Amino acid sequence: MPEINFQIQWPDGTEETCYSPSLVVKKYFTPGEEYKLTEFVDLSRTALNIASDRVKAAYGFACSKALGQLQQIESKASEYKELEDPKVRFVDFVDI
């Protein structure tokens, strides 16, 4: 199963490299685009759950790394929810 990393920039300017066990994230994000924080979290949740489900279909178990990445995104996003109109910039995909 092809894995991929993706680079994002949080509302405070810090960047983070995230992981997906599937290229499905390419259907949900566009490099260079800015997403409202809640939209980014929702899209991440959808894409990473689909990615985990694909691992489960192929190997019989969910992808704990994808679910852990989702937890990390949700946790970090909660730090910015009080900001007025917080946005996350999707920097780019990074092939593994």
Q: What does the pLDDT look like over 36-90, one tens digit per residue?
A: 999 999 999 999 999 999 999 999 999 999 999 999 999 999 999 999 999 999 9
**Annotated domain spans of the chain:** 4-95
* pTM (two decimals): 0.94
Identify the pLDDT of residue 64: 96
Residue 71: exposure state from Cβ atoms within 10 A (0-12, 13-18, ≥19): exposed
pLDDT band at 1 (very low <50, low <70, confident <90, very high): confident
Q: Whole-angstrom Cα distance, residue 4 to residue 79?
A: 25
